Amino acid sequence: MRARVRTVLGAALAATVSLALAVAAPGTAAAGPPAPPPVGPAVDEIVSSDNVTQVANLPKQEPFTGESSYGTDIAFSGDLAYVGNYDGFVVYDVADPAAPRVVSQVLCPGSQNDVSVSGDLLFLSTDSRWSDDTCSAVPQNQGQLPYWEGIKVFDVSDPANPAYVTSVATACGSHTHTLVPDTAGESVYLYVSSYAPAPELLGCLPPHDRISIVEVPLADPAAAAVVAEPVLFPDGGNPGPGSDTTTGCHDITVYPAKNLAAGACMGDGVLMDISDRENPEVIERVRDDTNFAFWHSATFNDDATKVVFTDELGGGSAATCTADVGPLRGADGIYDIVDGQLEFRSYFKIPRLQTEQENCVAHNGSLIPVPGRDVMVQAWYQGGVSVWDFTDSANPVEIGFWERGPLSTTELTLGGSWSAYWYNGHVFSSDIQKGLDVLAVDDATIAGAQDVVFDVFNPQTQPTYGR
C-alpha cells in the first residue's frame, strides 16, 4: 500500500486541547500572586501510590559508578536481565526479584549501548564515534578521520564471562536497534535506527532517510553484516523546522506475529509491513506538528489495534513535566489502527508536576500482559515509573506510580528511570544514576498478568500473550 502522510487534526484533538488548557492555566482569569513551586518528594525520597511497592534496588557498581555511566535499556532471558550502560553492560540474576545480584559487568564504552538478546547472543548499539570497534577504543570525534560506530555482538552462553564476537558498522551508528527473528528461525535481523547526518561525517552523510538492516546468521554470528538499507522516506520526511525534522528513525518496535512494525522517526510516526524482513514497507505515516517535538518510541497493544507513540521533548535532558510545559507536550500519543490507518485518540502524561531540576518526559515502557485490557508501565526519567490504562483510547488513566525525589534541588543532573518494563510478574527499572529498581504492582486492574511468563523478552520485539 502506498504510504500517505496524515496530520493530527480534528475534533478529538480540539477537545483534548481545550480541556487541557482549561486545566493547565488556572491563573489566567485574574491576576494574583505567583503559584508556589510544586511540592514533591525530597532528594532521593521514595513516594508511590498504594498499589506499587519497591522490592529491591541494586546500585551501580564499579566501574560503572560515575555520573556519566548512564544506565540505559534492558533485555531479558530466563532469570537474567541485561542492562545497557554508557560504559558497557551489566548482567543481573533476577531469579529472586527481591534480591537481584550482579553476574558480570562488561566494560565497553559507547553512547546508548542499547541491548537485545537472542539465545546465546547479545547485541549492543554504539551511537558515538570511536577509533576502532574494540572495547578499548578511544573517542574519535573528528568526523573526517576514520572512525567506527554501529553494532557489537557478544556471546553470553556463559553469563559470567561474556565474549566479544564481532562488530558491524552502520551508517550514522546505532542509536537503537530492534531484534526481528526471521521466519525460518535461521537468522535474526537487527533494524538499526540512527539519525543526525552531517556533511562533515564520513559515515553519516545527508540525506539519511533510511534504516540499516543487519542479518546475524545464528549458526555463524561472526558473519553478521548489513544486508539492506531501505529508504523509509523517499520524499525526505518531515521538513521541520526544529527537532522534528526527519533525518532517520529513533526507535522501531516490531510485532513479528502480526508482521507489523511501528517506527518513531523524529518528525514522523510510521506503520510498516515487515512480512518481507529485509524490505519493510511503510504503509501509513502521521505527524503531530502541534504537540510532538520528537517521535521517540512506540508500543502496540496486544491485538495490534493501537499504537502508543512517545514524544521525547527536550531529548530526555530537560524538565518538561512542569506547569509551563503543560499536559500535551512531552507526552504519549494514543492512536487506533483502523483499516490500516493511524487515527489519533488522545494524549497521556503523568499528572504529577516535577521541579525544574528534574529531567522528565515520556520514555521507554512496555505492556503489562493483562488479558482483555490495554495496560502499560512506562519510564519518565525523574518523573519515575507510571502504570496506566489505555483500554479506552480516548480516556487513558493512570492506575499507579512510583518515583524517587530529585537528585538535586539546585541543579538539573541527568537521572531517573530510563526504561521500565514488566517481566514475569515484576517491573524492572533501569535508573540512569541509581542502578536497578524492582517494583511490585498489586491492583485488580492487572489481574491475570502474573500468569503470563516469557522465556525471552526484548521490549521492542513484542510477543503476543492473547489467550
pLDDT tens digits along 121-165: 999 999 999 999 999 999 999 999 999 999 999 999 999 999 999
Instruction: For residues 65 and 248, give the distance between their C-alpha atoms in angstroms, rounded to a whole number.
Output: 32
Q: What is the CATH number of domain 5-20+42-457?
A: 2.130.10.10
The residue-averaged pLDDT of 189-216 equals 97
E strands in 62-186: 71-77, 80-85, 88-93, 101-107, 112-118, 121-130, 148-155, 163-169, 176-181
Angle 389-254-130 from CA coordinates, rounded to 5°: 115
pLDDT one-digit tens code per residue, 330-343? 999 999 999 999 99
Q: For a pLDDT cut of 90, what percent of the chain falls above it?
A: 90
Band of the pLDDT at 243, cuts 50, 70, 90? confident
Is there a contact between 156 and 117 (Cβ–Cβ < 8 Å)? yes
The residue-averaged pLDDT of 290-317 equals 97
Band of the pLDDT at 23, cuts 50, 70, 90? very low
**What is the model's pLDDT at position 34?**
54
pLDDT above 50 for 25 = no
32-41, 284-293, 325-334: segment of lowest average pLDDT: 32-41
pLDDT above 80 for 236 = yes
Band of the pLDDT at 466, cuts 50, 70, 90? confident
What is the value of pTM for the model shown? 0.93
Is there a contact between 298 and 264 (Cβ–Cβ < 8 Å)? yes
CB-based contacts of 339, cutoff 8 Å, min separation 6: none
The residue-averaged pLDDT of 174-198 equals 97
The residue-averaged pLDDT of 216-225 equals 98
Q: Is it true that the peptide bond before 63 is cis, omega within 30 degrees of 0?
A: yes
Band of the pLDDT at 21, cuts 50, 70, 90? very low
The residue-averaged pLDDT of 181-192 equals 96
Query: Which sequence spans correspond to the domains of the chain?
Result: 5-20+42-457
Residue 185 backbone class (left: φ over 0; alpha: ψ -120 to 50; beta: rest): left
Band of the pLDDT at 27, cuts 50, 70, 90? very low
Distances (CA, A) of 56 to 93, 101, 414, 418, 453: 13, 10, 22, 17, 21
Is there a contact between 384 and 422 (Cβ–Cβ < 8 Å)? no
Q: For a pLDDT cut of 70, what percent of the chain falls above it?
A: 91
Q: Estimate to the nearest angstrom the gap between the alpha carbon of 156 and the chain centroid.
A: 23
> How do 225-228 and 212-217 pair as beta strands?
antiparallel
Band of the pLDDT at 242, cuts 50, 70, 90? confident
Distances (CA, A) of 366 to 47, 59, 240, 380: 22, 23, 29, 13
Is there a contact between 119 and 102 (Cβ–Cβ < 8 Å)? no
The per-residue DSSP string of 161-211 comes to S-EEEEEEE-TT--SEEEEEE-SSSSEEEEEEE-----TT-TT-PSP--B-
pLDDT above 70 for 17 = no
What DSSP designation does 310 have? E
The residue-averaged pLDDT of 295-303 equals 98
pLDDT above 60 for 33 = no
Within 10 Å of residue 104's Cβ, how many Cβ atoms? 15
pLDDT one-digit tens code per residue, 452-461? 999 999 999 9
